[in-house]
C-alpha cells in the first residue's frame, strides 16, 4: 500500500459539505495507510471547465477549422498543452487509484468536473484508437465514482421515478473510465444526503472509511471484453 498514489478529483464549493467530509475521509485513510495522496480541488483551483483553443500553446494545425481533439493531441505530443492540463496529466500518471468525489448534478458530474474530463483526458495521453477499453492507456490504474445525491435510493431503482442509477452511471463508468482502460470499482453512493440527520451522516462516513481501507483490493466491476468486438 505504502508505494501507492491516490488522486482525488474533487468538486464541491463548500468545505462544510458532506462531499468535503467524504474527500477528507479518503485523504485521511490513504495517508494513514502510507499512500501518497493528491487532491485536485477543482473549485478551489478555479479549474477551467471548457475546452478551447486557449488549451494549446503556439500555432494551431488548422486554425480555419478548429478540432479540439486533433489540436490537443498534436499539442500533447509536442508538449504545447496549457500548464493546468499538463499538471493534471502529471498527477494522473502517478496515480494508481483515482477517486472522483462530487454531488450529482443533473444525473451527471458538475460542469467543472466534466470540464476536467473533457480537457485532461486528452487523445494520445488518455486513449488512442489502438488503446481503448481492455487495451486502454490506464489499464493498470483503478478509478471510481463517489457521490452524493439529492434524490432517495428508491427514486433510482429500475422502477423508480428517476430510473436505474446504473443507466445514469454508464456514460461515466463505461464511456469515460472504462474507455480509457481504468479498472472501475463499484461506485460509492451517499443517497439523499441533505435529508440525512447528523448521526446517520457520521455513520455513513465511518462505513466509507472502512470501505476505503480495503478499496485497493476490491474486485473491479465487469464490462464487456474488447476481444468480443471488431475494433
Using CB under 6 A as the binding rule, whether residue 198 contacts ligand FMN is answered as no
Residue whose entry in the numeric block shows the C-alpha cell 427514486: 155
Using CB under 6 A as the binding rule, whether residue 43 contacts ligand FMN is answered as no
Using CB under 6 A as the binding rule, whether residue 169 contacts ligand FMN is answered as no
Position among 103, 115, 136, 181 found at the interface with ligand FMN (CB under 6 A)? 103
Interaction pattern, residues 53-92, with ligand FMN; x per rule: CB under 6 A: ----------------------------------------
Q: Which residues of 160-177 are buried (b: 16+ CB within 10 A; e: fewer)?
A: eebeebeebbeebbeebb
- Min CB(17)–ligand FMN separation in Å: 3
Using CB under 6 A as the binding rule, whether residue 10 contacts ligand FMN is answered as no
Residues 6+ apart with CB under 8 A from 60: 53, 66, 71
Residue whose entry in the numeric block shows the C-alpha cell 477499453: 133
Alpha carbon distances (Å) from 128 to 11, 146, 180, 222, 225: 27, 27, 9, 22, 17
Using CB under 6 A as the binding rule, whether residue 146 contacts ligand FMN is answered as no
Residue 13 DSSP label? S
Binding site for ligand FMN (CB under 6 A): 12, 17-19, 103-107, 148-151, 193-194
Amino acid at each position: 500500500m505504502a508505494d501507492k498514489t491516490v488522486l482525488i478529483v474533487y468538486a464541491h464549493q463548500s468545505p462544510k459539505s458532506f462531499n468535503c467530509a467524504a474527500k477528507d475521509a479518503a485523504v485521511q485513510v490513504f495517508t494513514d495507510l502510507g499512500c501518497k495522496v493528491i487532491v485536485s480541488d477543482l473549485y478551489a483551483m478555479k479549474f477551467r471547465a471548457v475546452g478551447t483553443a486557449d488549451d494549446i500553446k503556439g500555432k494551431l494545425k488548422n486554425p480555419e477549422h478548429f478540432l479540439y481533439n486533433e489540436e490537443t493531441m498534436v499539442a500533447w505530443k509536442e508538449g504545447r498543452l496549457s500548464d493546468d492540463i499538463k499538471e493534471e496529466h502529471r498527477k494522473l500518471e502517478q496515480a494508481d487509484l483515482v477517486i472522483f468525489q462530487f454531488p450529482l448534478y443533473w444525473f451527471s458530474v458538475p460542469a467543472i468536473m466534466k470540464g476536467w474530463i473533457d480537457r485532461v483526458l486528452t487523445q494520445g495521453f488518455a486513449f488512442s484508437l489502438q488503446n481503448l477499453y481492455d487495451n486502454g492507456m490506464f489499464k493498470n490504474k483503478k478509478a471510481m465514482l463517489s457521490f452524493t445525491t439529492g434524490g432517495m435510493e428508491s427514486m433510482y431503482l429500475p422502477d423508480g421515478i428517476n430510473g436505474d442509477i446504473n443507466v445514469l452511471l454508464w456514460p461515466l463508468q463505461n464511456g469515460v473510465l472504462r474507455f480509457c482502460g481504468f479498472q472501475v470499482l463499484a461506485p460509492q453512493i451517499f443517497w439523499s444526503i441533505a435529508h440525512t440527520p447528523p448521526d446517520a451522516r457520521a455513520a455513513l462516513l465511518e462505513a466509507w472509511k472502512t470501505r476505503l481501507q480495503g478499496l485497493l483490493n476490491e474486485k473491479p466491476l465487469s464490462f464487456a471484453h474488447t476481444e468480443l468486438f471488431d475494433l
